Amino acid sequence: MKNKILNFISDYGVYIAFVVIILFFSFSTSSFLTYRNIVDIADRIVVMALIAFGIALTLMVGGIDLSGGTIVGLVGIAAVSLIKAGVHPLLVILVVLGIGIIVGLINASLIAGANVNPFIATLVTLFVGGSLEKVVTSGGLPVYLWEVPGWFQALGKGKWLGIPNSVFLLLGIGILMYVLVHKAKLGREFYAIGENITTSRYSGIPTRIKLGTAYVISALASTAAGFVLASKFTAGQPMAGHTYLWDAIGAVYLGTIVSSRTRGSFLGTLFGAIFLGTTLNGLSLMGAGLGWLNFAKGAVILFLVLSWSMKGKLRDRAKAVG
Amino acid sequence: MTLFESDRVEKFTKNSPWILLVIIVIVFSILNPFFFSYSNLGNILGRVPYILCMALGLSIVMAAGDFDLSFAALSELTIALIASIAGIGGFWLAFFVSLATILTLGLVNAIGVVKLGIHPWLVTLGTMLIGLGAATVITGGYQISLSYSQLKVIAGNLVGIPIPAILSIVLAISIYFIVHRTKFGEYVYVSGGNREAGLREGVNITTTRIKAYLIASFLYWAAGISYFTQTTVYRSGQIQLTLIDVILVAFIGKAISSRRVVNIPGAIFGVLFLAILANGLGLIGVQAYWIGLVKGLLTLIIIVGVSIREGEVVQLE
């Protein structure tokens, strides 16, 4: 009986918590359930989820990617500066994608080429990128865009049927990555590498190249996040991505709790982003400052990993019994 | 891969950090004569203590085969707690309350990682965010003044050398003895090297790892205390900026060790190296954010140098 209750909590606890949190914020603040605020939450979720999708992908190959935090900033600064200089939209998009690919390739060559621990490698890219963000903006001054071209504005502020365009972009990229991982050969290879890289190599998978591919795709997802954020702010904000990064990591691990896969899942990650985005928005509405938000994030991550390890223990116990 | 296995390369990668340090000192001395003066050496040593304390702590945890991201956040929390409690309950109450809090958070790290088997990065990321958040909440995010007469004694100079620097030398030597000259230290390296073999030999790996986390959190607290002695104002988030420096220091230690393990002399070298680099670049008029970039690229080079000799791709878990 005790086991049944524990199982129920570990399977549905997060959903129950989500419903309770929504009810709590709806009653305690008047502005929580308004159209305007829901659009705000959606904006936050889009950026967080795009970075988180990339992290989830690298989790599948047995690594992690922290560089999304700086890609968001670099991409924003580059995009806004180029648009300001009157560069053709197509070229702007190409340059921005180029930045993402370069950062992805750097991560790939560090991790798959030089055997650097993925956490350390991407932590260093995060830091070097952060310094670069400060260097190109003379110490961290945002680059503002006064005359915003229509196409750029449409991305972050435009709506279709009352739903922000960026939500459609998120769904599009999400579906693309889902298909790539769950319906194509590449995904099976990713999971194989994540489970055991040595056996994967012996069974003929070019592990280093596939591993690198995962990091490049992850960087591209963060590039999209940076583009959306820059369009929403109509400014290139140095270091803007760093807060989103920790949120995204929280979302990914939240995803592993609700999903049957222990190693990254897109649907779970999307739920994680919605959960965290809603919670953080509600806390801000109630007047929580940066400190409380950080505190809440830390507490949520600790709670998550604890329940995660509990779920693992329960599964092991079930295996031992069965 | 033969390129990296040859003896000459082996010798070069082993000695290159020392060679680099000498070159850097010579270049800075030529570019700005003030660099090699007595008072500037005092400047450099004065800025070392809190980084050194954190680096020693992280090194012990890493030597035991674990990791810790919460060091800077726990030091921040120490400062914030002392600054807030000292005004209400007196300095000494603040002193002990902060120590108890930091040790408790260190215990949370230890239990999460060692007892529950959760990945160190996740647990310590959680305590990191909690520590940072709490420090911001306590100080309200404002700049606060740090001047306590109780700390005046250890903030001064002794024959021209800053006392915090002397204290950190004493601390560094004691940690050196604990890690490299005691049974516990041996167990730490067994835990970091081969846990299975250690268990078969009857080494209590669990206790060793928990002790490593606790000693480390004590050192993070000491880092917070030493921060008071070198500056008069604090704003939350300041120490978190040194996150990568401290990680870099631990890896420099690994890079210059012949056994390729994190070690205390290496960490001390790394702290001095970074302090000299930052001071020298500052003296020749390089902007702070360029110094960050240089440090980052340097980290990259050293970490690649350490990692490239691993035959296999390193994965998490």
A290 to chain B: which residues are within 8 Å by CB?
A: 133, 136, 141
Cα gap B70→B76, rounded to integer Å: 10
Tell me the per-residue pLDDT of A222-239, one tens digit each, with 9 for 90 and over: 999 999 999 888 888 888
Distance (Å, whole) CA B55 – CA B252 = 11
With 0-12 / 13-18 / 19 or more C-beta atoms within 10 angstroms meaning exposed / middle / buried, residue B193 is middle
The separation between CA A142 and the C-alpha centre of its own chain, rounded to angstroms, equals 23
Residues of B in contact with A116 (CB under 8 A): 303-304, 307, 314
Q: Would you report the helix, strand and coil content of chain B in percent, each value rounded to 5?
A: 75, 5, 20
CB contact under 8 A, B133 and A293: yes
The number of CA neighbours under 13 Å toward the Cβ of B6 is 6
pLDDT at B2: 46
CA A152/CA A79 separation, integer angstroms: 10
Q: How far apart are CA B113 and CA B115, in angstroms?
A: 6
pLDDT in tens, chain B (317 residues): 444 555 666 666 666 667 777 888 888 888 888 888 877 887 787 778 889 999 999 999 999 989 999 999 999 999 999 888 887 877 888 889 999 999 999 999 999 899 888 778 778 988 998 998 899 888 887 887 767 666 666 667 777 677 777 888 888 899 999 988 888 888 888 888 888 888 888 888 899 999 999 999 999 999 998 887 777 778 877 888 888 789 888 887 877 777 778 888 888 888 888 888 888 888 888 887 888 888 888 778 877 877 776 667 777 65
Residues of B in contact with A134 (CB under 8 A): 289, 292
Q: Is A101 on the interface with B (CB under 8 A)?
A: no
Which ipTM score applies to this complex?
0.75
User: Are A124 and B314 an interchain contact pair (Cβ–Cβ within 8 Å)?
Assistant: no
Q: What is the pLDDT of residue A261?
A: 60
User: Nearest CB to A301: which of B108, B125, B243?
Assistant: B125
DSSP secondary structure, A25-43, as one string: HHHH-SSTTSHHHHHHHHH
* A248-279 pLDDT per residue, tens: 988 887 787 766 666 667 888 898 899 889 88
Report the pLDDT value the prediction gives residue A290, as an integer from 0 to 100.
77
Work out the end-to-end distance of chain A between its first and last CA atoms, rounded to an integer number of angstroms.
Answer: 17
Q: Helix, strand, coil: what percent of chain A each, to 5?
A: 80, 0, 20
d(C-alpha B39, C-alpha A107), whole Å: 42
Tokens standing for residue B219: 């050192």
pTM of the predicted protein model: 0.82
- Among A124, A283, A290, the strongest candidate for a mutation testing the B interface, having the largest count of B CBs within 10 A, is A124
C-beta of residue A81 within 8 angstroms of C-beta of residue A245? no
CA distance B198 to chain A (A): 24
Cβ atoms of residues B62 and B264 within 8 Å: no
Q: Mutate which of A120, A135, A245, A256 to disrupt the B interface (most B C-beta within 10 Å)?
A: A120
Q: How far is A1 from chain B (nearest CA, A)?
A: 23
